[in-house]
Amino acid sequence: MRRSIDTGKRSMDIRKGPISAALSVWLVAVVLGSLAGEAWGFIPLGDAPAWESITGYVSTGGAFADIDGDLDLDLVVSNGNDIQRQRDHVYFNIAGSLETAPSWTSDDTEYGGHLAVGDVDGDGDLDLAVAGLGSTSSFAVDDLYYNTGTGLEGTPSWHPVDLDNSFGIAWGDMDLDGDLDLAVASGLPYTHALQSTRVYLNNDGLLDSLAVWASPPGYGADVAWGDVDGDGDLDLAVAHDSLPNQIYMNEGGMLEPTPSWSSTETLWTLRLAWGDVDGDDDLDLAVANNAQLGGESNCQVYYNVDGELETSAGWTSREIRNYYSCVAWGDVDGDGDLDLAAGGWWEPVVVFENLDGVLDSLATWSWIPGLSSYLVCEAVVWGDVDEDGLVSVGGELHDGDGVRQLYYLEHAPVHELQCVVVGGRIVGPSGYCCDLRSGWILFREPPPAASGIVSFDYAYSVDMELAVTNWATGRGNFLFLNTNVTSVEDRDAGSPEMIAMPILLQNRPNPFSTTTGIQFYVPAQEKGSVGAGKEVEIVIYNATGQRIKTLVSGEFEPGRHQVIWDGRTEQGTSAA
């Protein structure tokens, strides 16, 4: 369900339980005012997938997107990989649940690589681009399926001239004209096919069939747009095998011919993701490295220091893995920082929790089926499918300078972009382009120089689910529900700077025999504020609704907090 929040003082009543089969006790928290820390190593995802799609598909690319325009997230999946020609799918969201069999399938079949969704023609609905991977003995073309307003067309309307082996694909506005251009990473190391990563320009909603820019040949596996140097345009990161990962800087609307940045490591990087892991307002780069063709397998993060990425990874995961294949940033625990999801071939899907700007080096949460051959992760995707944690932001203000066109929102992924206003006038979809997953918006014309002249209304979630696309045909794609208890009750985002969000986290251990830790999160009222304490009361009730214990009653500073309960009542007797 859709909810918004209010920065005013309000009580909250959350029921959760039973917290122990033996005690049969229900936990209720009443939080007064605004409920943000110190991490406790907990990821609120289920112990098993709550949803699985039909089997028989070599699923690869994945994205959450509102394809049918009904304001909830559908799951878009590309199929085939380099194994067999298959149709692409959309699993529609029906009243907060994904259908198990897709209602939309493409008419054509292809060796589908990864995918990207975006409004290429500025008509307000989302179109679908799919990378054509081909096989070890064939090349392929990339596909673009336009959204007709009622859904995706069955047969793609656009292909490039180039035939190659493309795996990664991403929308971004390279030339700063307010519409989405398409970057495609190509090259197949299995056959030693060196190919160029390319960019196709968008001209008023129509993509050129000839690339306007091409990199030197390599084994390109993925591409990701992001403003790494903070100069107001989108730079392009490219993942490689047997070569360094590279960043091509944007110079006045065109990418440089040779990369300004290269990583020290030369592993087989399959996927990239931009995100601000350390909260310093610049973009860091996460990568998934695979060892099938040699080298090491791990996840790594390159930190951004004053607009420049460090050339050597500053963080590396420590599990012994062979086939990491995907990464994605998302705030799964609702504490205001980005956690990192990842997965591998025949290996677990995992999440590394962000602990005050530093990721756990060992997975905080993981899952793998009983037979590991049934899970070959290709993409991990964050989104609030059941809409139980949506927060509406009203009037997030940004300054204009008459030059800058690119703006990053305070929260990403963005569930829904509701209204864009410049100088008091609403700007429609033809006046800008955006990437909701990354949270950036780029205007066709730069907003005038004035303080707070740009305003965004949008929704994001503090209770996101995790979807996994699965290459193994014996099982389907998976969805893990978020088990956090959140209260976003009849509230309104009064401050454009920060949303005051009450959150009660799952108690751990659960069930428990002696003690359990109950966590809660108190965010600051305004971004960057300190010392703004909030009154919090946590109360235990038994199964019949009787109040048996007040655990907490007092003022707490912004941050994550934990209180320990020993299972006893106010009188010191066992609650069992």
Lowest mean pLDDT among 28-42, 46-60, 542-556: 28-42
In order, the DSSP letters of 169-188 are EEEE-TTSSSS-EEEEEE-B
pLDDT at 30: 36
Provide the pLDDT for residue 237.
Answer: 99
The pLDDT value recorded for residue 523 is: 56
* pLDDT at residue 3 tops 70: no
Q: What is the DSSP string of 191-244?
A: GTB-B--EEE-EETTEE-SS-SEEPPSB-EEEEEEE-TT-SSS-EEEEEESSS-
Q: Enumerate helices (H) and strands (E) in the chain, giving the number of each.
A: 0, 50
pLDDT at 185: 99
Burial of 111 (0-12, 13-18, 19+ CB in 10 A): buried
Q: What is the pLDDT of residue 265?
A: 97
Q: Say how far residue 392 (Cα) sits from the centre of its chain.
A: 18
Instruction: Supply the pLDDT for residue 499.
Output: 39
CA dihedral (36, 37, 40, 44) in degrees, to 10, reads 30
More confident residue, 81 or 41: 81
Of 55, 48, 91, 85, nearest in space to 472 by CA: 55
CB-based contact 198:183 (threshold 8 Å): yes
Residues 117 and 203: their CA atoms lie apart, in Å, by 18
Q: Count other Cβ atoms within 10 Å, centred on residue 549.
A: 18
Residue-range domains of the chain with CATH: 13-35+487-565 (no CATH), 109-385 (2.130.10.130), 390-460 (no CATH)
The pLDDT score that the predictor gives to residue 363 is: 96
User: What is the pLDDT at residue 436?
Assistant: 97
**Tens-digit pLDDT profile for residues 108-155:** 999 999 999 999 999 999 999 999 999 999 999 999 999 999 899 999
CA 23, 29, 30, 32 torsion-angle sign? positive
- The pLDDT assigned to 210 comes to 98
Residue 37, pLDDT > 80, answer: no
Element of type H or E holding 274: strand 268-275
Pick the residue with more confidence: 26 or 381? 381
Please report the DSSP string for 464-531 in residue order.
Answer: -EEEEEE--TTS--EEE-B--EE---SB----SS-----EEPPPBSSS-SS-EEEEEEE--SSTT--S
Measured between alpha carbons, how far is 469 from 382 in angstroms, rounded to an integer? 12
Contact 534, 514 (CB under 8 A): no
The residues near 305 (Cβ < 8 Å, ≥ 6 apart) are none
Alpha helix (H) ranges present in 126-177?
none
For residues 71 and 65, what is the distance between their CA atoms, to the nearest angstrom? Answer: 9
Q: Which is nearest to 568 in space by CA: 15, 20, 17?
A: 20
Q: 448: which DSSP letter?
A: P
pLDDT over 50 at 439, yes or no: yes
Enter the pTM of the model. Answer: 0.81
Tens digits of residue pLDDT in 63-114? 999 999 999 999 999 999 999 999 999 999 999 999 999 999 999 999 999 9
Which one, of 35, 63, 95, lies nearest residue 462 by Cα? 35
Partners of 496 in the β-ladder: none
d(CA 397, CA 390): 20
Tokens of 491: 């509230």
pLDDT tens for 399-434 read 999 999 999 999 999 999 999 999 999 999 999 999
Q: Return d(Cα 450, Cα 432) in angstroms, integer.
A: 19
CA dist., res. 137 & res. 159, Å (int): 20
Distance CA 534, CA 521 (A): 11
* pLDDT at residue 191 greater than cutoff 80: yes
| Cα 335 to Cα 358: distance, rounded to the nearest angstrom | 13
87/106 Cα distance (integer angstroms): 5
* Number of other CB atoms surrounding residue 212 within 10 Å: 14
How many percent of the chain have pLDDT more than 90? Answer: 76
Only one residue has tokens 């962000």, namely 354
Closest CA to 129 of 140, 113, 117: 117
214-268 residue pLDDT tens: 999 999 999 999 999 999 999 999 999 989 999 999 999 999 999 999 999 999 9
Tokens encoding 273: 């993701």
Own/partner contacts of 421-425, CB < 8 Å, gap of 24 or more, are 421/454, 421/455, 421/456, 421/457, 422/447, 422/448, 422/453, 422/454, 422/455, 423/447, 423/448, 423/450, 423/453
What is the mean pLDDT of the segment spanning 515-529?
A: 61
Mean pLDDT over 516-521 rounds to 74
